[in-house]
A = this chain, B = another copy of it.
Amino acid sequence: MSKLLDACSQTLMETAPQIMQAIRVEMRRGRGSDISIPQFRAMRFIQRYPDSSLSSLAEHLGLTLPSVSKLVDGLVNQKLILRGILPEDRRKITLSVTTTGSAIVNSARTIARSTLAEKMKNLSDSDLRSILQAMQLLHLIFNDQGK
């Protein structure tokens, strides 16, 4: 049980919520359309993996199928994504982002990204590299949540 490992866990538990809060605030600020963080993440996922199923989206988001079904309902109603049926297996649905959806994701992303960048602009390059590396490591570790 290394001291270092312990310190990492601890600081992670304290810092992660703060970062999330900042991100949430920036996302809200950059709204013209009301889009929550999970909705945003959903659209990003669908953008990256077009025609993905509800199940894979649920797994990515770490939510249950019913929750994601509702979340998708909301996005479909706002015409930000499309829900189709997969011909080869008609139980499955295929999700895709509409052009307006794409535009909204991209603009929200740009705004949030630039305000986050603003906050970090006074850091040295070495600090930034540290952060980048740390995030990449954490991304790998926490990507497949719990499996």
Contact = CB atoms under 8 A, between A and B. Distances in A.
Nearest to A121: B5
A142 B18 CA distance: 6
Contacts of A136: 11
A132 B62 contact: no
A23 B15 contact: no
Interface string A27-63: 0000000000100010010000000000000000010
A5 B119 CA distance: 10
A127 interface: yes
Interface in A7-32: 7-23, 25
Nearest to A7: B132
A120 B20 contact: no
Interface in A54-76: 62
Contacts of A143: 18
Given A18-B142, A22-B146, A12 B128 contact: no
Contact of A134 (B23, B109, B130, B141): B130
Nearest to A146: B25
A132 B14 contact: no
18 contacts: A2-B125, A8-B120, A8-B128, A8-B132, A9-B116, A9-B117, A12-B19, A12-B135, A13-B109, A13-B113, A15-B135, A15-B138, A16-B23, A20-B20, A25-B146, A130-B130, A130-B134, A130-B137
